[in-house]
Amino acid sequence: MKRFFMQFFTLLLVVGIVTGCGSDTPKQEESSNNTNQNSSNSAEVEEAITIVISTDEGEEVISNESIAIEEGDILMDVMKENYDIEEEGGFIHSIDGIAPEEGEEKAWMYFVNDEMASVGADEYELTPGEEINFDLQAW
């Protein structure tokens, strides 16, 4: 009788191990699929820039948006596609109706990753992941 219970217990143990190993395979594939999905989502996020619109050296933030781009896009073109822009001679004068008052010594300045840009927005080529800050400030 003891022998019968030992064989029965051994059989249950083998069935349990085989069943357990069989169910791990889909979980590993699912985990692998989630990793692939996360990688593709990361790639999508990397293909964007952040544009912050503010006034008075960041005192008031008007807008903070993530915008999809392709490497090499020109900043002025992206701004025109996503905001109501008025420009004069390649310089942005108004963003979404916000402009300096007549006679006010303010202008839209822009910064890339917290550093003042060295070229106009109509010449600046964007790189995914950058943060662009347009700030209406005194000059």
Nearest to 46 by CA among 130, 115, 125, 124: 130
CA pair distance 109, 112, nearest whole angstrom: 10
CA pair distance 66, 56, nearest whole angstrom: 22
- What's the confidence (pLDDT) of residue 54? 97
CATH fold of 48-138, please?
Ferric Hydroxamate Uptake Protein; Chain A, domain 1 (2.170.130)
Domain coordinates in residue numbering, the chain: 1-46, 48-138
Structure token pair of residue 69: 């781009």
Confidence of residue 67 (pLDDT cuts 50, 70, 90): very high
- The whole-number average pLDDT for the span 54-59 is 95
- What's the confidence (pLDDT) of residue 90? 80
Range with lowest mean pLDDT among 24-28, 61-65, 85-89, 135-139: 24-28
- The whole-number average pLDDT for the span 110-131 is 95
CA pair distance 129, 114, nearest whole angstrom: 13
